[in-house]
Amino acid sequence: MSRPELVAPPEIYYGDTEAKKYTKNTRNQQIQADMTYRALELLSLPPDEPAFLLDIGCGSGLSGEILDEEGYMWAGVDVAPSMLEVALEREVEGDLFLQDIGQGFGFRPGSFDGAISISVLQWLLNAETSHATSSPPHRLTRFFTTLHSALKNPSRAVFQFYPSSDDQITLISTIAQRAGFTGGLVIDYPNSNKAKKVFLCLMVGGGGHVPKGLDGDGDAAEDSTTARFERRRERERARSRGGKRKSIKDRDWILKKKELYRKRGKESVPNDSKFTGRRRKAIF
Amino acid sequence: MVRLMTHNLLACHAKGCTTNNFPLALKDVQIELRESDFNPDFLKGFLPKLDWPALVLAARQLGDETLPLQQPEMLDDEFLKNLHHVLLEIHIEEGSMTCPNCAHVYPISNGIPNMLLAEHEIG
C-alpha cells in the first residue's frame, strides 16, 4: 500500500495537480463516499434533528458533499490550500477553514454536534520539524483536547484512518483517552486486506457502547465461515463413505494383474489356483 | 464562505490566549449575499450555542440591523427569517479577523480564513 503521508506533509503533497487528481479519481470518490456513509452511521446522530458537524480534513469536499446530501450543516478544516480551492470550485455548502489540526482548534465549547474525519489521522503521525510542538504526541494531544471541548456533551467523533502499526493505534487511543474521550476502535472486515477499514469511534460524555465492526469479506466473493479447500475435502469424504469404490485387491484384480505380468514376460509369476485371492484362515 | 454562524463559534487559539479571545473583530470585510434554504428547526437547535451580543455586534458591523439587541423570548417567524439571513446568507469573502486579546490577525481570502499559526504561537 502506498503511504503518501511518508512522502511529504499534506499541504505540500496535495499541491494543485495532486489535489485535482485525487478529486477526479472515481475510485477515490467511491471509497470516500462509502466511508463517509459508514462514519455517519457510526456517529448515530438522533434522527430528524438538524445537526452541525465538523469535517476534519475535509479536503476537496468529497465527504462534505455527502453531508450536504444528507442535509447536515457543516464546517470543514484542511491544511492543504489546493484542496480547499478545489472544494470552492465544487461549491460545497459548508464553511471552510485553512487550519492545521495539529495546532488545535479555536472553536468555542460545545460548538458541534459531532465530528467526522476520513483518512486524516495518519497524517498527524509524522514529525516535520524538530521543534517541540511538531512531535506527533504533542500535536495529537493538542488536537484531541481542543476537539473534545469543541464538541457538545454528549456527542461523538468518528475517524477513519490508515494505521501502519499497532503502536500507532495505541498512541492515538491513549492520547484520545487522556483528552477525555471514551470509546474505541471499530474494525470493518478485519479478515480482508482490501476491504479492511479502521474507525476510531470516540465519545464525549461517556454513555453508549462502541458499535461492532462489519464482518464478512467486503466484496462477498467468499463465504468466510469455511476455509478454502473445505468443499473438496467434503466431497472426497462423502465418496469414500458412500462405499461405491470397491476394495481393489479382489480375486479378479489379482488374476488380471498376473495375466498382465505373464504377457510382459515377467518371471516367477505364481500359478493360478482355487486358492488365489482367498482369505487365509484366522488361525494361521 | 465564512458565515456569521461560524464566526460566532470562533475564538483565538494561539498559545496562552485563553481569556477575552472572543469574538474576533472583523476588519475590511467584503460580503456577498447568497440565498439558502430556510430551516427553522436547525435555527432553533442552534440558538443555545450562539453568543447573542457578539452576533448582534458582528451583524451591525456588516450593516444588518434587523436583529434586536436583546435575544427575544418568543420565536416568531419574522425573527427566525432575519436570523436565518444573518447566520446563513451573509458570506464574508475578503477581510480579516483580529483577536481582541493577543491581536493575532487571521486573514480571510477567497472566503477561506487562514487559521494557521507560526511555530512560536502554537500552544
**ipTM for the complex shown:** 0.91
Average of pLDDT values for A133-159?
92
| Mean pLDDT to the nearest integer, A52-61 | 93
Instruction: Name the helix (H) or strand (E) containing A282.
Output: none
- B7 occurs within a structural domain: yes
Q: Which domain holds residue B74?
A: 2-114
Q: Is residue B50 part of a domain?
A: yes
Q: Which pLDDT score, from 0 to 100, does residue A227 have?
A: 63
- Residue B20 located in a structural domain: yes
Asked if B67 and B56 count as a contact pair (C-beta separation under 8 A), the reply is yes
Indicate if the pLDDT at residue A224 is higher than 90: no
| Mean pLDDT for the stretch of residues B92-112 | 91
What's the confidence (pLDDT) of residue A220?
45
Cα–Cα distance, B37 to B8 (Å, whole number): 20
**Domains: count for chain B:** 1
Please check the confidence at residue B58 and state whether its pLDDT lies above 60: yes
For residue A245, pLDDT over 80 is answered with no
pLDDT at A33 over 50: yes
List, as own/partner pairs, every contact residues B34-42 make where C-beta atoms lie below 8 angstroms and the sequence separation is at least 24, other chains included: B34/B89, B34/B91, B35/B89, B36/A93, B36/B84, B36/B88, B36/B89, B38/B80, B38/B81, B38/B84, B39/A50, B39/B84, B40/B77, B40/B80, B40/B84, B41/A49, B41/A50, B42/A50, B42/A52, B42/A73
What are the chain A neighbours of B9 within 8 Å (beta carbons)?
A: 75, 107-108, 111
CATH of the domain at B25: 2.20.25.10
Asked whether residue B123 is assigned to any structural domain, the reply reads: no
In a domain, B22, yes or no: yes
Q: Is the pLDDT of residue A114 over 90?
A: yes
In a domain, B120, yes or no: no
State whether residue A88 sits within 8 Å of chain B by CB.
yes
pLDDT bracket for residue A223 (50, 70, 90): very low
Question: Range with the lowest mean pLDDT among A126-135, A148-157, B49-58?
Answer: A126-135
* Average pLDDT score over residue span A52-60: 93
Lowest mean pLDDT among A27-41, A220-234, B49-63: A220-234
pLDDT of residue A209: 78
Q: Answer whether B52 touches A (CB < 8 Å).
A: no
Task: Report whether B27 contacts B95 (CB < 8 A).
Answer: yes
Residue B57 lies in a domain: yes
Contacts (Cβ under 8 Å, ≥6 apart) of B56 = B67, B68, B69
Above 80 in pLDDT, residue A237?
no
A255–B contact, CB cutoff 8 A: no
Q: What is the pLDDT, as a whole number, of residue A101? A: 93
B13 contacts A50? CB cut-off 8 A: no
Q: Quick check: is B61 in a domain?
A: yes
Q: Is A127 on the interface with B (CB under 8 A)?
A: no
Per-residue pLDDT averaged across A169-198, rounded? 90
Q: Higher model confidence: residue A242 or residue A30? A: A30
Among A94, A106, A108, beta carbon nearest to B115: A106
Which of B4, B5, B6, B31 is the best substitution to test chain A (most A C-beta atoms within 10 A)? B6
**pLDDT tens across B33-43, in order?**
888 888 888 89
Q: Residue A246: pLDDT band by 50, 70, 90 thresholds? A: low
**Mean pLDDT taken over chain A:** 86
- CB of A74 less than 8 A from some CB of B: no
Average pLDDT for B49-67: 90
Looking at residue A1, its pLDDT comes to 54
Q: Structure pTM?
A: 0.79
| B24, pLDDT greater than 50 | yes
Domains of chain A: 4-218 (3.40.50.150)
CA A201/CA A158 separation, integer angstroms: 5
